[in-house]
Amino acid sequence: MLRFDDRVAIITGAGHGLGRSHALLLAERGAKVVVNDLGGALDGSGASAGPAAEVAGLITKNGGQAVASTDDISTPEGARAVVQAAVDAFGRVDIVVNNAGILRDRSLGKMTVEDFDSVLAVHVRGSYLVSQAAYPLMKAAGYGRVVNTTSPAGLFGNFGQANYSTAKMGLVGLTKTIAIEGARNGIRANAIAPIAWTRMTESLLPAEFEAKFTPERVSALVAYLVHESCEVSGEVFSVGAGRVARVFVAEGPGWKTDDLTPEAIADNWQSVMAEQPYVQSATDSLKAML
Ligand code: NAI
């Protein structure tokens, strides 16, 4: 059994849905958990201490160790306070699961700057800020595990979610860069693209999905990725209803000529669009151009 005794985990947005399930699973397996949740509505409005306190209370009642944090992780002060809560209560940070999220769905023509900025602030800025605040502690310890939460909507696009999909693809870049920068200090970072029945999706998914797409079926992957035995880093995984699959950003072999013209591109379009053998790093992409 993969256990987390003596490990300290920060889970943002852990008052509901997926974060709650991640927190309960890690705590059940021995982790000391900071249950962070602002306690607002799905669109990010409002705040309440209730959800974080309820989950931290449940963990404690079950014999685990947890503290509640109601800090807003989209602000530098809030992100620092979450990490400080971990240090004050448990003395270290080993695991960060950036899970907090909001939705402000609207088609591109109707989206306001506020809708766009607020969604990016929670998902992207929040994940960056909490990771950055925990980073020096992880670096000093020579150990860290970060999981960011992307989405199929970000990886593939989705109607009405220009803000959300931009944020979620941004998290793929953040994840890959944390993985590169953290590699020599034992810090591993990965992203999950989940599907689960939560308050975020209950009005979108068919009713029969509730029993199959449980948050617990996503948390199992999170627990694996944040375990000390898992050296995987810089990857993205689709996860839902018991299925786990690697998602990868890849570049095809491409087609090149010394005399590139718009017409030459049109004439060789099939080669431009070819998928294999694919290239998977910025360095290999550059090499293919030389
Ligand atoms: P949820 O609404 O149940 O949970 C999100 C939690 O984040 C809420 O408890 C909310 O209070 C908290 N939160 C929001 N803003 C915050 C802030 N500034 N500071 C601290 N906490 C904040 O939704 P769900 O489904 O559990 O979502 C969790 C994550 O998974 C989100 O990042 C979401 O975008 C992502 N996701 C979920 C999918 C699904 O199928 N449920 C699909 C793809 C991605």
How far apart are the CA of 99 and the centre of ligand 1, in A?
Answer: 6
The reply to whether 223 falls in a domain is yes
Atom of ligand 1 nearest to the CA of 205: 40
Average pLDDT rounded to a whole number, residues 142-158: 97
Question: Per residue in 71-108, pLDDT tens?
Answer: 999 999 999 999 999 999 999 999 999 999 999 999 99
232 and 259 within one domain: no
Q: In a mutational test of the pocket of ligand 1, which residue from 38, 43, 158 has the highest number of ligand atoms less than 8 Å from its CB?
A: 38
How far apart are the CA of 102 and the centre of ligand 1, in A?
Answer: 6
Indicate if the pLDDT at residue 153 is higher than 90.
yes
203 and 284 within one domain: no
276 and 166 within one domain: no
Average pLDDT rounded to a whole number, residues 41-51: 97
Indicate if the pLDDT at residue 130 is higher than 90.
yes
Average pLDDT rounded to a whole number, residues 134-141: 98
Question: Per residue in 202-238, pLDDT tens?
Answer: 999 999 999 999 999 999 999 999 999 999 999 999 9
User: In terms of C-beta density within 10 A (0-12 exposed, 13-18 middle, 19 or more buried), how is residue 266 classed?
Assistant: exposed
- What's the pLDDT at 142? 98
122 and 44 within one domain: yes
Residues of the domain holding 276: 250-290
197 and 86 within one domain: yes
Domain count, the chain: 2
- 98 Cβ below 6 A of ligand 1: no
How far apart are the CA of 253 and the centre of ligand 1, in A?
Answer: 37
Measured at the alpha carbon of residue 193, what is the angle toward residues 206 and 97, in degrees to the nearest 5?
120
Indicate if the pLDDT at residue 12 is higher than 90.
yes
Indicate if the pLDDT at residue 279 is higher than 90.
no
DSSP 8-state class, residue 125? I
ipTM of the complex: 0.99
Which position has the token pair 């449980």? 214
228 and 88 within one domain: yes
The reply to whether 141 falls in a domain is yes
Q: Residue 55: which H helix or E strand, with range?
A: helix 50-61
Indicate if the pLDDT at residue 280 is higher than 90.
no
- 170 Cβ below 6 A of ligand 1: no
148 and 266 within one domain: no
Higher pLDDT among residues 284 and 109, named by residue = 109
94 and 20 within one domain: yes
The reply to whether 2 falls in a domain is no
Residue 97 has a CB neighbour count (10 Å cut-off) of: 31
139 and 204 within one domain: yes
Given the residues 128, 135, 164, 278, the one annotated as active site = 164
268 and 223 within one domain: no
235 and 138 within one domain: yes
In the annotation, is 164 catalytic?
Answer: yes
Q: At 189, which CATH number?
A: 3.40.50.720
- What's the pLDDT at 290? 85
CA–CA distance from 272 to each of 251, 263, 268, 283 (Å)?
Answer: 10, 13, 6, 19
